[in-house]
Amino acid sequence: MNLKRTFGAILTILGIVCLIWGAYAFLAGGGSVGNVSVNQFSAAVPFVLGLIFFFTGISLIKRTKDTA
């Protein structure tokens, strides 16, 4: 198993989780999400971080050659 592909899959999953959490926190409208007080503007931070993780993970998976 290729280490870069594994790391890419982990980054992709982490990016999906951050995207979902950021979108949920944004839609909550400034309430508490999971015992964390978040307003709409600070909910953009995990969303942007999730986008970065997601696209980095996808590019690692796509560009790594599978040599066994």
Candidates 54, 41, 52, 50; CA nearest to 21 is 50
Express each pLDDT in 49-62 by its tens digit: 999 999 999 999 88
Q: How far apart are CA 68 and CA 63, in angstroms?
A: 15
3-state SS class at 32 = strand
Express each pLDDT in 23-46 by its tens digit: 888 887 766 666 667 777 777 888
